[in-house]
Amino acid sequence: MSSQIPPGKSRARLRSCLHLLHLSDPLLPIGGFTHSYGLETYVQKELVNSSTQVKKYLEAYLRHNFLYNELLAMRLAWEYADESNIEVIVELNNILCAAKGPRELRNAGTKLGLRLIKIIETQLNGEALFNEYLEAVKAGKCESNYCVIYGMAAYLFGIGKEDSMIAISYNTASTIINNCAKLIPISQMDGQKILFEAQAFIEELVEKAGKLKPEDTGMCSIGFDIRSMQHERLYTRIYIS
C-alpha cells in the first residue's frame, strides 16, 4: 500500500506551510522590530540584565501575559473564522483592545494589524469574511488588532489552528530574544540556547491555550502593564513600546 500523499493534498499542504512561514517571518515589514512591549523598561531598571534573567522574563511574559491575550485571541479568531462569524470577531477585537491598559500596547497591536492587512489584502480580497472585516475596520466598528487578523488570515490561508498557535508563540519568543540581544546585550548563542530551551514550554503553552475559555481573554500580570506605562516616560528609549 502506498503511503504517498495525493498530489493535490501535497500541494495544498505545501502552500499552507509557505503561508505560515510568510505570516510568521520576523522580517515581515509590519514594524514588529520597533516594539519591546515594556521590556526596555525592565532592562533600564536592571531587572533583566543577564541570560538567566532573560529566560525567566521570557517564560513569565509568555505564561502570564501573552497566553491570555495574543495567543488566546489568535486561537479564538481562527475558530470564529471557521464559523464565518464576523460579529464575534469584531467583538473579540474590541474586548482585546479594552483589556490593554497601556496606551503603547494598544497602539502597537493596531499599527501592526493595519500593516499586516496591507500585506495580505491582495491575497485575501476575494474572501467574504476578510472583506467584511475590512468594512468593519473602515466603519470604525473595531480596531485592526494584529493577533486577531493573524488568526483569521491563518484560517483563510488553510493553516491549521495548532500550527498557527505554535508559530505565533515562537515568533513572539524570538522577537523577545532579539530585543534582549540588542538591549542588554546577551550573545546570539545564549539567545539561541534560550530559544531551544523554550520549545518544550511553548508546547505546554499552546496546549493550555487550547483549553481556555473566551472569558479568559485579557487576563494579565499587572507588573507587565506597569512597566509598559513607565516606558512612555523613559528619558531615552530605542523602542516605540
Instruction: Return the minimum-mean-pLDDT range out of 51-55, 91-95, 105-109.
Output: 105-109
In a domain, 19, yes or no: no
Q: How many domains does the chain have?
A: 1
Cis peptide before 214 (omega within 30 of 0): no
Task: Tell me how long the chain is.
Answer: 241
Residue 1 has pLDDT above 80, yes or no: no
CATH code of the domain in which 216 resides: 1.10.4190.10
Instruction: Flag whether 53 is in a domain.
Output: yes
Q: Is 109 within a domain? A: yes
Confidence label for 220 from pLDDT (cuts 50, 70 and 90): confident
What's the pLDDT score for residue 218? Answer: 87
Residues 6 or more apart whose Cβ sits within 8 Å of residue 219: 68, 69
Could you give the percent of the chain with pLDDT greater than 90? 69
Residue 6 has pLDDT above 80, yes or no: no
pLDDT, one tens digit per residue, over 194-219 is 999 999 999 999 999 999 999 999 88
Query: pTM above 0.75?
Result: yes
**Comparison of pLDDT for 167 and 228, the residue scoring more:** 167
- Band (pLDDT 50/70/90 cuts) for residue 4 is low
Q: What is the pLDDT of residues 34-75, one digit of tens each?
A: 889 889 999 999 999 999 999 999 999 999 999 999 999 999
Q: Write down the residue that cell numbers 513569565 correspond to.
A: 60
Per-residue pLDDT at 15 exceeds 50: yes
Residue 83 φ then ψ, to 5°:
-90, 0
Tell me if 52 is assigned to some domain: yes
Note whether residue 28 is domain-resident: no
Q: What is the pLDDT of residue 2?
A: 45
Residue 176 C-alpha cell reads as 523577545
Domain that holds residue 161: 40-232
Asked, for residue 34, whether it belongs to a domain, the answer is no
Query: Is residue 99 over pLDDT 90?
Result: no
Residue 30 covered by a domain: no
Question: Burial letters for 186-197: b for 16+ Cβ neighbours within 10 Å, e otherwise?
Answer: beeebbeebbee
Q: Is residue 31 part of a domain?
A: no
For residues 161-183, give the mean pLDDT.
Answer: 95
- How far from the centroid of its chain's Cα atoms is residue 125's Cα? 22
Q: Is the pLDDT at 161 greater than 90, yes or no?
A: yes
- How high is the pLDDT of residue 206? 97
Report whether 95 contacts 217 (CB < 8 A).
yes
Range list of H helices, 127-186: 128-138, 146-156, 161-183
50 — alpha (psi -120 to 50), left (phi > 0) or beta? beta
Distances (CA, A) of 40 to 36, 132, 216, 224, 238: 6, 37, 27, 11, 8
Average pLDDT over residues 128-139: 95
- Counting residues of the chain whose pLDDT is more than 70, the rounded percentage is 96
Span of 27-31, 42-46, 189-193 with lowest mean pLDDT = 27-31
Q: Is 238:182 a contact under the CB 8 Å cutoff?
A: yes
pLDDT of 238? 85
